Chains A and B, each alone.
Chain A
Amino acid sequence: MFEVLIFATLNGLVTGLLLFMLASGLTLIFSMMGVLNFAHASFYMLGAYFAYSISLYTGFWPALILAPVLVGVLGALVERYGLRRVHKSGHVAELIFTFGLAFLIEEAVQFFWGRATKDYRSPDILDFPLFTLFGQNFPAYKAFMIFISIAIFIALYFVLTRTRIGIIIQAAITHPHTVGNLGHNVPLIFMAVFGVGTGLAGLAGVIAGPVLTTFPGMAMVLGSIVFVIVVIGGLGSLAGALVASLLIGLLQSYAIASDLGMPDLLNWLGVSFERDHPLNDIWRLTLPQIAPILPYLLLVLVLIFRPSGLFGKRES
């Protein structure tokens, strides 16, 4: 029981921090432009595929730097030539544009790399168990993932709160016109933030690709979960995004690791149903079974009872 708990916590931490890398960029972009970027997870997928192709020639480490940069540049171009054009037509059009972009990127990935799963592996140098606990190994690569995520979080926090650029960005979120009048190029700031946000998603893809497998559906798998996190945490709140990411990561990890279910609850309550009861499916549910839907359940509940999210400000 105890070792299950420890490993579930560690795995939940890995997933949660990975989700945060995506959610942080998404929430930053949202607070700047008011656009929920549906294609955010598609940039994550592009990161994994770029890194796979680059690593074929140079190995993992140069890909770790190059792929996120490429993704970021691509994101900036999308903002400059796509999103800025659609901006005139309003928020719904922007949302639908990113939705179409997600669709398009998935098709493009299938065009260039095919439908099959790519054999994108973690570097050999990290291919050893970091420690063994109760006979179970904890791979060094997962520790590396945790390390990168935390480093990114600290760097992001430092840049946003302690540097001049960060202050300008924060000001541009709330008072874009004033910042513009002070002589800063606000559209350029928007483009840069979009580029950095998508670049972070790309980085998440680079480090997650080997663990979560690199296939054309990987954006779909994570995309809506990241949305859920950003909404649960409160739109535009970085701290909220961190808490919600860890919450979702741990929740899913515990649910998968546990072997509890409705039968246990019914036993405990002393109730039993016959096998051909019409709701038999419900009476036999187990936690690992419903793990994938827990985030959505949480989302709907949060939106009903606290529409602004856990850390969100009052909705305008």
Chain B
Amino acid sequence: MFKFAVWIIFAIVIVLLPQFFTSLLSVSILNQMAIAIVFALSYNMLLGQGGMLSFGHAVYFGLGGFMAVHALLGIEDGDYFFSVTLIPLVGGLFGLLAALFIGSFSTHKAGTVFAMISLGVGELIAASSLILVSFFGGEAGVSGDRTYGPTFFGYDFAQDIQVYYLAAAWMFIATLAMYLFTQTPAGRMANAVRDNPERAEFIGYSARRVRLISFVMSGFFAGIAGGLFAVNYEILTEQNLNAVTSGNVLLMAYIGGLGFFIGPIIGAVVLTLMNSVLSHYTTLWMLYLGIMFVLTVMFLPNGLTGFLMMHRTPWHLGKIRLLIKPYIVTSIPGAVFALSLVAMVEMAHSSEAEFVFLGASFNSSGIVSWGVLIAIALGSFIALRRSLPALREAWAQANAIDSGEQK
């Protein structure tokens, strides 16, 4: 019952979102999010649920997308007569076929061998996409137009907001389908094979076939994401199936948290938001993204969702408020420290004499401004170090089960 309510709320939220974010920019960000969510969830079917680390997941996204663009062109030429709403399905089916072919030899083993084959296949397809010009369009890519074909209840998808509803609907269906897949015997066996392939084989399952099923399903949903991308951007290039895109989806799934179904969704939303907001303010956003990724791997191995889930025990014990004060005490110097480092990086990078950061103006070559920033950084770092013991203490208290003693 509770789970059912969660899905209803999810549906209501995605329907209502464009009512609050009406500008063109925010609608385009919402579209990107919907695509990223499907893509990241499909990736987590492999890594989180199946234990297969892939460095070439963009292949299925890209191939699905390219096929979808060709389908768009087919509609435009009048070769096919179906609605643009079905385009993501075309992408999905092509992604599925590609995954079936590649998975037939790459899923023999998990672990390093699988990771290396995925890397090799990824590079192979990305490189061939520049050679096979008639399908991939070479450097320029292939572009189409989504406004042809029969209209869907009066929607001709000329505007981004109409595309949002299409993408959101597909995203909802795909998310639900992927969630339901985790509940099927095939989804459960994928977890079993991830954790202990030998035992799974002993109870009579072929580890390879279980992996292949996950892999093919994952390719299908990646293809759907690619199809949505094709409808949204109306162009696909080599960049959509190369290693950068593959790395991006790994980043999203990992930062969100691999161990939870909702993790990649959070990762996709946070990273899409960061990409569009940060890139608006600074040219160095990729650098910050890299730092954030490395820090996440080092300090939050279970991702953002894992961090949130850590608070389940204090919550159930009713002690979550013990943590509020130490969190505030730690996060203020932490934020100041991070901001002062960012200010120094930006100042070193800035070429103008006067450098403005958060309303404060600095002389970017002056010793005084450097001195002030370094002093702030050092001071906040010391304050941060000092606040940590109290935080640790509070964390231990919040997680401790009181054994009947009086407060």
Contacts and interface: CB of A to CB of B under 8 A. Distances in A.
A62 to B, nearest CB: 26
Contact of B243 (A82, A224, A289): A224
Nearest to B348: A111
Given A282-B132, A297-B124, A304-B105, A93 B297 contact: yes
Contact of A281 (B55, B112, B131): B131
A75 B235 CA distance: 41
B273 interface: no
B406 interface: no
A252 to B, nearest CB: 13
A281 B127 contact: no
Interface string B69-99: 0000000000000000000000000000000
Contact of B120 (A82, A104, A228, A307): A228
Contacts of A289: 131
A97 B131 contact: no
A107 B250 CA distance: 18
B298 interface: yes
B297 A307 contact: no
Contacts of A303: 106, 113, 116-117, 120
B345 interface: yes
Interface stretch (B17-25, B221-229, B285-293): B285-293
Interface string B123-156: 1100110011111000000000000000000000
Interface size class of chain B, counting residues whose CB lies under 8 Å from the partner chain? 35 or more
Interface string A19-35: 00000000000000000
Contact of B134 (A95, A103, A278, A290): A278
Contacts of A282: 132
Contacts of B297: 86, 89, 93, 96-97, 100
A99 interface: yes
A82 B111 CA distance: 22
Given A296-B120, A307-B108, A104 B291 contact: yes
Given A97-B298, A231-B116, A282-B132, A307 B109 contact: yes
Nearest to A278: B134
Given A293-B123, A299-B120, A36 B112 contact: yes
Most buried by B among A100, A107, A296: A100
A129 interface: no
B25 to A, nearest CB: 25
A224 B119 CA distance: 8
A76 B232 CA distance: 46
Most buried by A among B106, B115, B297, B345: B297
A82 B294 contact: yes
A264 B247 CA distance: 39
B326 interface: no
Interface string A99-125: 111011011101100000000000000
Contacts of B290: 100, 103-104, 106-108
Given A304-B105, A315-B109, A100 B293 contact: yes
Interface string B315-330: 0000000000000000
B299 to A, nearest CB: 8
B109 A93 contact: no
B230 interface: no
Interface in B228-259: 243, 247, 250-251, 254
B131 A224 contact: no
Interface residues of A, number: 45
A89 B301 contact: yes
B129 to A, nearest CB: 10
Contact of A296 (B115, B123, B301): B123
A261 to B, nearest CB: 12
B123 A315 contact: no
B57 to A, nearest CB: 13
B134 A300 contact: no
A104 B293 CA distance: 9
A138 B151 CA distance: 66
Interface in A51-110: 82, 85-86, 88-89, 91-93, 95-97, 99-101, 103-104, 106-108, 110
A280 interface: yes
Contact of A300 (B112, B124, B301): B124
Contact of A107 (B106, B112, B286): B286
A160 B131 CA distance: 44
A292 interface: yes
Nearest to B258: A92
Given A95-B53, A282-B132, A296-B124, A103 B119 contact: no
B243 A315 contact: no
B121 interface: yes
Contacts of A278: 134
Contacts of B294: 82, 97, 100-101, 104
Contacts of A97: 294, 297-298
Contacts of B286: 107
A218 interface: no
A6 interface: no
Contacts of B128: 293
A231 B55 CA distance: 15
B116 to A, nearest CB: 5
6 contacts: A88-B301, A92-B53, A101-B294, A104-B293, A224-B119, A281-B133
Interface of A: 36, 82, 85-86, 88-89, 91-93, 95-97, 99-101, 103-104, 106-108, 110-111, 220, 224, 227-228, 231, 235, 278, 280-282, 285, 289-290, 292-293, 296-297, 299-300, 303-304, 307, 315
Given A278-B134, A281-B134, 4 more contacts: A100-B290, A280-B134, A292-B127, A293-B127
Nearest first, the 3 closest Cβ-Cβ pairs linking A and B are A104-B290, A299-B120, A89-B301
